[in-house]
Amino acid sequence: MKKVLLWTLTMILLLNICALPLAQAADPDFLEVFSGSSGGSWYNVGSEIATVIQNNVPGMLARVAPGGGSANPTTVQNKEGWMGLVYTGVAYDAYMGQGDYDAAHGDICHVISLYSMPFLWVSLRENESVNTIYDLSDKRISPGRTGQTGLAIARASLAAHGIDMDKVTENGGTVSLLGDSERLNMLREPQPGCCQRPASLGS
């Protein structure tokens, strides 16, 4: 059984050095598109974008690179990469230097909006006794890996319902910071010494 929490945001691309054309700002012969973790949906999106760029920009070599929605703005800001995927809410926090970001990321800029999608969902076993987000306060949860957007928004969503993710363990639950494929495997297989699989919060 799957319970879905909808938080619809828009995915955008980021480009560093707003005042310069792409060919001047980056190596004109090579471009990495920073996406999400390998095996996740963003990785496939980034791969397709890289293919489109390479097929339509003469002399350009492009490839997808693993990343994370919360990490990509910093990658672009620090000029460790030139293009990445992120959600608008996270991009705004990065640009303003708030939330998980200690400094304003003033060099990032919006290139294109791709699509809107349901942002956050909770995947559970059919017999789980979780009916609302409040029921997650003492459960085994896996909200994503550090640097992923899912973790940032899961933390914010829980906080909006009065649940401090850092205190879930104090309530008897656990928080596993894992990537998409690892969380999928945890839902498939019972964990050693425990009868309950974790709830997986994903983006």
pLDDT tens over the chain, length 203 residues = 333 333 333 344 544 444 334 444 445 578 899 998 887 778 988 999 999 989 998 888 999 999 988 899 999 999 898 889 988 888 888 999 998 899 999 988 888 777 655 556 677 767 777 888 898 898 888 888 887 777 877 888 888 899 998 889 899 888 888 877 787 787 776 555 444 555 666 55
What pTM does this model have? 0.60
- Residue 66 Ramachandran class (φ > 0 left, ψ -120 to 50 alpha, else beta): beta
DSSP state string for 7-74 = --EEEEEEEE-TTS-HHHHS-TTEEEEE-SSTTSHHHHHHHHHHHHHHHHSTT-EEEEE---TTTHHH
- Residue 162 Ramachandran class (φ > 0 left, ψ -120 to 50 alpha, else beta): left
Q: Which domains does the chain have, with CATH numbers?
A: 10-116 (3.40.190.10), 120-202 (3.40.190.10)
Cα Rg of the chain, angstroms: 18
Could you tell me which of 111, 94, 114 has the C-alpha nearest to residue 15?
111
The distance of Cα 75 from the centroid of its chain, to the nearest Å, equals: 14
- Residue 153: enclosing H or E segment and its boundaries? helix 149-160
β-strand partners of 84: 14, 34
Per-residue tokens: 118 = 């349901």
Could you tell me which of 36, 55, 60, 41 has the C-alpha nearest to residue 145?
36
Residue 148, pLDDT score? 76
